[in-house]
Chain A
């Protein structure tokens, strides 16, 4: 039976005729909610309400998907197409009279966490939570250290969390990964665990990573000269004086997501011979072809000016650029548009899309692809 002809669980329930609370109880006990059946996903809500919607940020779908009440019950449902390997974050909106409530799906235990709070998450058929992002007792842990780097450019002591790989030795030279939004990458994208595991598995070279703590990130990461001066003129020499780092551009990578990706590109743009690679995830590369109505609000103004300037006169700023973006996020169009611009400069560009949104889990899930490309591990040398 094909996906399109198979009777959905919710329809089989409807067909049973008059339903009582016990029948709904038994139905919910039998199914994991939302119910994913092939390419279709049934969202459910149970309770008294006047209206219920699924709220999400999937590009291409209406912002609010109304649920319909199953006659004679307090069970609400809506069926949505959910392509294979998708990962979708959502919340429910419930109206009772004049009162509107946003809540995570009480029937779904899966949560996604971000700096702005948590949301429910549903996985399409075939989505795999990468095992290399989970703690592996076999993988030796790198060391973490908190440092404060004095910065005249930023007019503050800039906090940086350092990662030194397991078995760090001063007799080696390590590549350096500079990570924007460092605390969020560590907390929400399991960056430390990912590095430990990928290094352990020879997927990624042993690296030193500097996780940057932003001040006002919407200012510092929006094409800020001060930020670029800090990273290239202050932080990099500070690190090179204290740690055995590869002195070549090929051993330096700037990484960031969203505004952090803009910061990475704009920092490299100001020092085009310093960095060998960029790892840009869901970059906020909003641009305009004509006029100034970019729709992003004032915080995007400097970003749009920078992106427009770069698109008008693109130039190589690194040797290789890894770009990733979720197809469900509004930034998919700007990111797709940047790929030919970046590769047209002669830089080697690897572009990866996923059926995911603007989320830390999406960025976590692409880290193996990105890191193993910019800093490949010794896998090709290892024959056990």
Chain B
């Protein structure tokens, strides 16, 4: 297994034994590059990002060498919602609030990007144009920061009001998950729905053992700021688990971002600076193989 080099790990959550886990980030696994685990190593797997297909993990288990325990976080989440209908109702409302916040923020980002395009097209004097674009970039960073603050506030309000971590149905599953993790040498985080993944990892207080192997959405949740990107547009989404600080991960970028447009790529890099935007192409093994998006829009 490829280890992440020193400096690529900036854990903000302490692992079980109090030391930073080693994180290995892979590119998207449509063509799997996972190597079998060393003999005797048990992997706790998380395929909750696949949602209802969570249990379809036979191929993954086979690639890992067979000694795996799927934490079944999606199924556990559904079980909690069935068992605790008050929490389920509150969660529905909470998700509606978060979705509306995201939609309203996306609307503002969209309008903002239109304005930037208009500035690029219509401004004629380099000095005024550059000043306007710099101000616009600052405004966008402010939008991102405000959105993250609003969503964090909404999550905190929900947690304070409903205390999911103290509820019986959640506690039971947390204990079971904790037991599975104690026996595991590595936590494997597959991709899928990044929002679902982040939610269940928090709900069941998943604390990584010594090693973490992650790709796609599984890797994105390990950063300190999860950024969504599709149709050429990026949106800040939420704070991640913070095991990979200072990094914005962009798996599948070729299909989702304007990779042949250095102007827009450069704007993306500057928008999330000082974090480094890293493109994770198919076949990447380790963060260092990812391509960094530079402030001028070139890929390094």
Q: Which of A340-384 contact B (CB under 8 A)?
A: 378-384
Q: Are B92 and A383 in contact (CB under 8 A)?
A: no
User: Is residue A172 contacting chain B, with contact meaning CB distance below 8 A?
Assistant: yes
User: Is residue B146 contacting chain A, with contact meaning CB distance below 8 A?
Assistant: no
User: Which residues of chain B come closer than 8 Å to A167, judged between CB atoms?
Assistant: 52
Closest chain B residue to A246 by CB distance?
A: B96
Q: Are B195 and A381 in contact (CB under 8 A)?
A: yes
Number of interface residues of B (CB under 8 A): 34
Q: Which of B128-136, B137-145, B186-194, B266-274 contacts A (4 or more CB under 8 A)?
A: B186-194
User: Is residue A118 contacting chain B, with contact meaning CB distance below 8 A?
Assistant: no
User: Is residue B82 contacting chain A, with contact meaning CB distance below 8 A?
Assistant: yes
Q: Are A384 and B191 in contact (CB under 8 A)?
A: yes
User: Is residue A244 contacting chain B, with contact meaning CB distance below 8 A?
Assistant: yes
Contacts A380-B230, A381-B228 hold; do A171 and B82 have CB atoms under 8 A apart? yes
User: Is residue A248 contacting chain B, with contact meaning CB distance below 8 A?
Assistant: yes
Contacts A244-B92, A246-B96 hold; do A384 and B82 have CB atoms under 8 A apart? no
Contact string against B for A residues 249-262, beta-carbon threshold 8 Å, 1 for contact and 0 otherwise: 01000000000000
Q: Are A384 and B96 in contact (CB under 8 A)?
A: no
Closest chain A residue to B216 by CB distance?
A: A383
Contact of B193 among A171, A244, A378 (CB under 8 A): A378
Q: With the chains together, A381 CA to B235 CA distance in Å? A: 10
User: Is residue B220 contacting chain A, with contact meaning CB distance below 8 A?
Assistant: yes
Q: With the chains together, A173 CA to B96 CA distance in Å? A: 9
Closest chain A residue to B220 by CB distance?
A: A383
User: Which residues of chain B come closer than 8 Å to A383, judged between CB atoms?
Assistant: 28, 191-192, 194, 216-217, 220, 251-252
Contact of B92 among A172, A378, A379, A380 (CB under 8 A): A172
Q: With the chains together, A172 CA to B231 CA distance in Å? A: 27
Q: With the chains together, A366 CA to B251 CA distance in Å? A: 30
Closest chain A residue to B228 by CB distance?
A: A380
- Shortest distance from the beta carbon of B279 to any chain A beta carbon, whole Å: 13
User: Is residue A14 contacting chain B, with contact meaning CB distance below 8 A?
Assistant: no
Q: Are A171 and B78 in contact (CB under 8 A)?
A: yes
Q: With the chains together, A353 CA to B125 CA distance in Å? A: 38
User: Which residues of chain A come closer than 8 Å to B205, judged between CB atoms?
Assistant: none
Closest chain A residue to B280 by CB distance?
A: A383
User: Is residue B168 contacting chain A, with contact meaning CB distance below 8 A?
Assistant: no
- Shortest distance from the beta carbon of B63 to any chain A beta carbon, whole Å: 15
Contact of B100 among A244, A250, A380, A381 (CB under 8 A): A250
User: Which residues of chain A come closer than 8 Å to B196, judged between CB atoms?
Assistant: 381
Q: With the chains together, A109 CA to B49 CA distance in Å? A: 45
User: Which residues of chain A come closer than 8 Å to B229, judged between CB atoms?
Assistant: 380
Q: Which of B238-261 contact A (CB under 8 A)?
A: 251-252
Contact string against A for B residues 29-63, beta-carbon threshold 8 Å, 1 for contact and 0 otherwise: 11000000000000000000110100000000000
Contact string against A for B residues 80-103, beta-carbon threshold 8 Å, 1 for contact and 0 otherwise: 011001001001100110001001
Secondary structure type dominating chain B contacts: helix
User: Which residues of chain A come closer than 8 Å to B29, judged between CB atoms?
Assistant: 384
Q: With the chains together, A250 CA to B216 CA distance in Å? A: 30
User: Which residues of chain A come closer than 8 Å to B228, judged between CB atoms?
Assistant: 380-381
- Shortest distance from the beta carbon of B34 to any chain A beta carbon, whole Å: 14
Contact of A171 among B88, B100, B237 (CB under 8 A): B88
Contact string against A for B residues 94-123, beta-carbon threshold 8 Å, 1 for contact and 0 otherwise: 011000100100000000000000000000
Q: Are B192 and A382 in contact (CB under 8 A)?
A: yes
User: Is residue A309 contacting chain B, with contact meaning CB distance below 8 A?
Assistant: no
User: Is residue A111 contacting chain B, with contact meaning CB distance below 8 A?
Assistant: no
Q: Which of A152-184 contact B (CB under 8 A)?
A: 167, 169, 171-173
Q: Are A384 and B28 in contact (CB under 8 A)?
A: yes
Contacts A167-B52, A383-B220, A383-B252 hold; do A378 and B195 have CB atoms under 8 A apart? yes
User: Which residues of chain B come closer than 8 Å to A173, judged between CB atoms?
Assistant: 92, 95-96
Q: Are B217 and A382 in contact (CB under 8 A)?
A: yes
Contact string against A for B residues 193-213, beta-carbon threshold 8 Å, 1 for contact and 0 otherwise: 111100000000000000000
Q: Are A384 and B30 in contact (CB under 8 A)?
A: yes
- Shortest distance from the beta carbon of A57 to any chain B beta carbon, whole Å: 35
- Shortest distance from the beta carbon of A230 to any chain B beta carbon, whole Å: 27
Q: With the chains together, A77 CA to B195 CA distance in Å? A: 59
- Shortest distance from the beta carbon of B202 to any chain A beta carbon, whole Å: 16
- Shortest distance from the beta carbon of B260 to any chain A beta carbon, whole Å: 21
- Shortest distance from the beta carbon of A118 to any chain B beta carbon, whole Å: 38
Contact string against B for A residues 174-213, beta-carbon threshold 8 Å, 1 for contact and 0 otherwise: 0000000000000000000000000000000000000000
Contact string against B for A residues 38-56, beta-carbon threshold 8 Å, 1 for contact and 0 otherwise: 0000000000000000000
User: Which residues of chain A come closer than 8 Å to B81, judged between CB atoms?
Assistant: 169, 171
Closest chain B residue to A376 by CB distance?
A: B103
Q: With the chains together, A217 CA to B216 CA distance in Å? A: 50
Q: With the chains together, A8 CA to B61 CA distance in Å? A: 59
Closest chain B residue to A247 by CB distance?
A: B96
User: Which residues of chain B come closer than 8 Å to A250, judged between CB atoms?
Assistant: 100, 103
Residues of B at the A interface (CB closer than 8 Å) are 28-30, 49-50, 52, 78, 81-82, 85, 88, 91-92, 95-96, 100, 103, 191-196, 216-217, 220, 228-231, 235, 237, 251-252
Return 19 A-B CB contacts under 8 Å, by A number: A169-B81, A171-B81, A171-B82, A171-B85, A171-B88, A171-B91, A250-B100, A379-B230, A380-B229, A381-B195, A381-B237, A382-B192, A382-B193, A383-B194, A383-B220, A383-B251, A384-B29, A384-B50, A384-B191
A244-B92, A383-B191 given; name 12 further pairs at CB < 8 Å. A169-B78, A169-B81, A171-B78, A250-B100, A250-B103, A378-B193, A380-B228, A380-B231, A381-B228, A382-B194, A383-B216, A383-B220
State the 4 A-B residue pairs at the shortest beta-carbon distance, nearest first: A171-B81, A383-B216, A383-B217, A380-B230
